[in-house]
Amino acid sequence: MRALIIHGALMMMAGTASAAEAEREAFGTLDDGRAVEAVVLSNGNGIEARIITLGATLQSLKAPDADGEFDDIVLGYDDAASYLANPQYFGATIGRYANRIAEGRFELDGETYDLIQNEGTNTLHGGTDGFDKRLWTIADVEDGRRRSSVTMTYESPAGEMGFPGTLTATVTYTLTESNELRIEHEATTDAPTIVNLTNHSFFNLSGHEAMESVLDQELTLVASRYTPVNENLIPTGEVVQVEGTPFDFTQAMRIGDRIRAGANEQLRIARGYDHNFVLDGRSGRLRLAARVEDPVSGRVLEVLSDQPAIQFYSGNFLDGTVVGKADTIYRQGDGLCLEPQTYPNSPNEPDFPSARLDPGETYRNVMVVRMSAEERGGE
C-alpha cells in the first residue's frame, strides 16, 4: 500500500489551530421567510464541513489532495432555493425511507399504507417532500480540543407522506482531529412504523474546482453480494454473488472499466450502477464498507458503516441540466453516492432485513467518512 503522506502545510495548520471549531452562519431564507442556518465544522488539519438546516444537508466538505491543496469534494448548491427546486438530494439526510418502496405501498400489522409516489409508481427517498425538503432544528453545537459537532432534529407527524407514527429524527455530524466526519442518525416513534435514514452526498475526489469524472476513480466495496433490480429499479428479491460480474468491487477497480458493459442487463436498466450491495461482516458493528481512491489528486475516502447494506450510485441521471455550486454544470459521472442503509423495498420483502421500528426502540445508523491523501502513482 502506498504510504500515507502528511504534508508540511497540514502540519503547520495543525500546529496553529488550538482546537476543533464549530461556527454558525446564515444560509439564506425560504419563500415563507424562515431562515436557513449553516454550521461550519473545522479541525486543526484544515478540513471543513458545512451542514445546513435545510434537509440537515452536508453542503460542502473541503479536504486536501496529495500536495496539501484543499478543495470541496461534494456536489451541491450555493443557495437554499436550489435545494428545494432540484430533486437531486445532494448531501441531504434522507427519510423517512431512503431508496425505493415498490408501488408506494407496504403492509404493517395487517394494515396497508399508501405513500406518496414520486418516481413513477415508486416512493423514492420518502416521497415528494421527504426529510431533504424539511427545515431541521439545531439542537446542539459543540467544539473542543479533539472534535466539533452539530446535532439537528426533525419531528415528522403521523401521516406525513403516508407513513404511520410520529417519528422524531436526529442527525449528528462530528468532525474529528483524525479527519473523520461521523454522521449518526437516530429515530424514535410513538407507533409502529418503518424507517431507513441515510446521507445522500455525491462525492468527487478530484475536487469541485478540478471536476474530473468519477469514472476514473477506483472503488472498493466490502460486499460479495448485491440485490438485482427489475425495470423499475426495485429489487427482485434475489441476493446474488458479485463474483464474475461487473458488480465485483471486492478489489479496487476503476469505476468506468465495466460501466458500459451492455451485455449486462442490470447496467442497462440502471444506466450504470444504482444498486444495493450487501455488506460483508456483521450488521450493527461499525466496519469498512467502501473505499474510493483518486489516482490524480491522491485523495482517498473511506466509508465505515454499521448497516446491512450500501447503495452505490454512479450519478447516472446527472444530465447537464443541473447547475450546482460556483455555476458548475453537473453531468453524468460527476459524482458518486455511497449510502449506508437497509435494503430497498424491505417492508415488502420478508426475507430482507426488517425496517420496522416500534415505540420504546431507537433506530440508529452510524456512518463515518474518513479522509486522507496518498502519494500518486509514479511520484
- Asked whether the whole model's pTM tops 0.75, one would answer yes
Catalytic residue IDs? 200, 339
List pLDDT tens digits, range 152-177.
Answer: 999 999 999 999 999 999 999 999 99
pLDDT at residue 4 is higher than 90: no
Q: For 25-33, what is the mean pLDDT?
A: 96
Q: Which DSSP string corresponds to 61-118?
A: EEEE-TTS-EEE-B---SSHHHHHHSTT-TTPEE-SB-SEEGGGEEEETTEEEEPPP-
* pLDDT at 19 > cutoff 90: no
Q: Return the CATH number of the domain spanning residue range 8-373.
A: 2.70.98.10
Q: Which of 265, 17, 233 is nearest to 121 (CA)?
A: 233
Work out the average pLDDT over 285-303. 98
What residue type is 105 in one-letter code? R
Predicted local confidence at residue 144, as pLDDT:
87
| Average pLDDT taken over every residue of the chain | 94
Sign of CA dihedral 247, 318, 137, 162: negative
pLDDT at 324 over 50: yes
88-124 burial, b at 16+ Cβ within 10 Å, e below that, comes to bbbbbbbbbbbbbbbbbbbebeeeebebbbbbeebbb
Average pLDDT over residues 233-259: 98
Reported as half-sphere exposure (CB side, CA atoms, 13 A), residue 27 has a value of 26
Instruction: Determine whether 235 is exposed, middle or buried from the number of CB atoms within 10 Å of its CB (0-12, 13-18, 19+).
Output: buried
DSSP state of 234: -
Q: What is the pLDDT of residue 61?
A: 98
